[in-house]
């Protein structure tokens, strides 16, 4: 073995022993995790208010600010996730969450505008289903971030 090959082999061995590793996942971001939890608190409060409201008081206009606040928070989290390197899984999770939030918001708005649904634009069964769905999605987003610790 030549001296050059031996030096290369020793250098590679030293790198292996030094604990060098390739990072294929983004670093843990405490601020992202905290923001996700804070946003979920807003979602939960909104769904509590919807569930406690009389059916005729569940119109979109009464909850428009809550829908908009959460939409803004989700987009801020999404932007933060997209700015991080090697963060594909978290980006996919937050993008699905944003899309689902927008779709659910639009459904509430449409039902509230429809004369047939104005009596109860957000039925209790749908409130429970949507709340559970968002809880699962937020849990996945928080777990994906916590996994990076």
Dihedral sign, CA of 95, 100, 101, 105? Answer: positive
Report the predicted TM-score, pTM, of the whole model to 2 decimal places: 0.82
At residue 27, the pLDDT reads 87
In contact, 116 and 61? CB cutoff 8 Å = no
Distances (CA, A) of 121 to 59, 63, 68, 141, 142: 6, 12, 18, 29, 30
At residue 16, the pLDDT reads 54
At residue 127, the pLDDT reads 98
At residue 26, the pLDDT reads 78
- Average pLDDT per 10 consecutive residues for the chain, totaling 149 residues: 60 54 71 96 98 97 98 97 92 97 98 95 98 98 92
At residue 6, the pLDDT reads 57
In contact, 29 and 146? CB cutoff 8 Å = no
């Amino acid at each position: 073995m030549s001296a050059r090959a031996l030096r290369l082999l020793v250098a590679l061995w030293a790198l292996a022993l030094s604990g060098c590793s390739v990072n294929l996942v983004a670093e843990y971001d405490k601020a992202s995790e905290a923001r996700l939890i804070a946003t979920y608190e807003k979602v939960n409060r909104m769904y509590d208010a919807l569930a406690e409201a009389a059916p005729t008081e569940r119109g979109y206009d009464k909850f428009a600010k809550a829908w908009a606040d959460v939409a803004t928070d989700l987009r801020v989290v999404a932007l933060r996730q997209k700015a991080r390197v090697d963060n594909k899984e978290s980006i996919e999770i937050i993008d699905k969450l944003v899309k689902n939030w927008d779709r659910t918001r639009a459904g509430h708005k449409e039902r509230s505008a429809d004369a047939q649904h104005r009596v109860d634009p957000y039925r209790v069964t749908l409130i429970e289903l949507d709340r559970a769905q968002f809880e699962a999605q937020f849990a996945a987003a928080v777990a994906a971030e916590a996994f990076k610790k």
